[in-house]
């Protein structure tokens, strides 16, 4: 484990060096092909750096941050777009925005988005953020405890536990990154998740609630360019549909690529199929909404939420989870977190013993 943390330190030192170069050199080059060419070595380095890591958690999150988010942000930066353009006045801000899963808060609001969320708020109890956090922490502990008895659990229940764990871990890690960026750099940031389990449609889930940082990046790098091309070829009313399909296809490919960092094997494209399926269903949903504009066929939010959760579960069991089961990736993932949890527990007990002994010593004087 010490060697892994040493590799992690090396990876992020090299990443910081690469982004420092981007801040001082390519930013001075005119945007377009010239700047893109100056960034090509950085794309290559950021793509191979996660290969130095071998534990699932460190490798996956590093690949997610560098191979996906940072490379996509730098791609936008090459054409004077995205969150890095114009470059922030401080190098630390540039590096943080480039490699962390954060999005600066803007003053622009979308009234239609708020309008679509109103029925949801009426249908579900609203808890404070601290209460929701406490519930998720308890659920996280329960999941870890339940996994210890996996030999008594059905295989599909084990898969569900793993997927819930991935969601809770992802939301927690992204929230921690956001909190650190806010505290250290003083940046005002958008939330990465918006209670995705309360979604009432695929559009609501993928567009407004799930991993909003990735949604924003994909919107700029894939959706917008494809839609601009589509408007030249088909009616503007339907131009968004191929853009949605392309966005989900790219997202699926990136998920498969990140999975390759774990297995060091060629992709099976099951995750790409999962996202293409969801993209196809979302385009059908959007088309139906455009045709049924009178609202007569609108389901109650609680019903649509339940149907969506069933669809997410069934499609995940079919296409998303098999790669995690193949080769025992889920076993290794849960073993890592249980080992880490036991380490924290043992260190905590040792610390409590030391404090107890010191307390007794102080009162005995």
Q: According to the per-residue pLDDT averaged within each range, which of 253-262, 289-298, 342-351 is highest?
A: 253-262
Average pLDDT, integer, range 297-322: 89
Tell me, what's the pLDDT at 357?
Answer: 62
Structure confidence by residue, pLDDT tens digits, 197-228: 989 999 999 999 999 989 999 999 999 999 99
Q: What is the pLDDT of residue 7?
A: 93
| Prior bond of 86 cis (ω within 30°) | yes
Residue with tokens 């925005």: 97
Domain segments of the chain: what residues?
1-99, 194-320
Which pLDDT score is estimated for 132?
Answer: 80
30-78 pLDDT tens trace: 999 999 999 999 999 999 999 999 999 999 999 999 999 999 999 999 9
Look at residue 294 and tell me whether its pLDDT is greater than 80.
no
Mean pLDDT of 295-323: 87
- Segment 100-109 mean pLDDT: 73
Average pLDDT estimate for 1-18: 90
Count CA atoms closer than 13 A to 265's CA, side-chain side: 7
Which of the pair, 149 or 63, is modelled with greater confidence?
63
Percent of all residues in the chain with a pLDDT value above 70, rounded to a whole number: 85
Bridge partners (DSSP) of residue 104 are 189
Indicate if the pLDDT at residue 114 is higher than 80: no
Q: What is the pLDDT of residue 14?
A: 96
Paired tokens of 196: 């995705």
Paired residues of 189 in beta bridges: 104
């Amino acid at each position: 484990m010490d060697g892994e943390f040493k590799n992690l330190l090396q990876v992020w030192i090299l990443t910081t060096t690469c982004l420092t170069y981007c801040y001082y050199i390519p930013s001075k080059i005119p945007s377009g092909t010239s700047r893109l060419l100056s960034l090509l070595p950085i794309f290559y380095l950021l793509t191979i750096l996660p290969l130095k890591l071998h534990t699932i958690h460190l490798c996956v999150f590093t690949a997610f941050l560098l191979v996906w988010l940072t490379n996509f942000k730098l791609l936008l930066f090459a054409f004077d777009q995205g969150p890095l353009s114009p470059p922030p006045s401080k190098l630390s801000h540039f590096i943080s925005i480039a490699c962390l899963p954060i999005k600066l808060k803007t003053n622009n609001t979308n009234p239609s988005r708020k309008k679509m969320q109103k029925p949801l708020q009426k249908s579900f109890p609203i808890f404070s953020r601290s209460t929701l956090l406490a519930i998720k922490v308890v659920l996280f502990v329960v999941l870890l405890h339940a996994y210890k008895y996996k030999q008594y659990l059905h295989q599909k229940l084990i898969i569900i536990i793993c997927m819930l764990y991935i969601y809770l871990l992802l939301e927690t890690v992204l929230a921690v990154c956001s909190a650190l960026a806010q505290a250290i750099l003083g940046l005002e940031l958008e939330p990465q998740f918006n209670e995705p389990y309360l979604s009432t449609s695929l559009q609501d889930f993928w567009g407004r609630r799930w991993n909003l940082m990735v949604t924003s990046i994909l919107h700029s790098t894939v959706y917008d360019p494809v839609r601009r091309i589509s408007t030249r070829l088909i009616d503007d009313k339907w131009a968004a549909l191929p853009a949605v399909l392309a966005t989900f296809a790219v997202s699926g490919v990136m998920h498969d690529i990140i999975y390759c960092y774990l297995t060091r094997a060629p992709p099976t494209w099951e995750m790409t199929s999962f996202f293409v399926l969801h993209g196809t269903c979302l385009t059908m949903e959007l088309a139906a909404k455009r045709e049924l504009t009178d609202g007569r066929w609108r389901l109650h939010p609680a019903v649509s939420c339940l149907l969506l959760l069933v669809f997410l579960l069934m499609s995940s069991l079919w296409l998303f989870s098999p790669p995690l089961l193949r080769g025992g990736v889920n076993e290794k993932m849960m073993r890592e977190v249980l080992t880490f949890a036991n380490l924290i527990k043992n260190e905590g007990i040792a610390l409590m013993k030391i404090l107890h002994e010191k307390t007794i010593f102080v009162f005995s004087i």
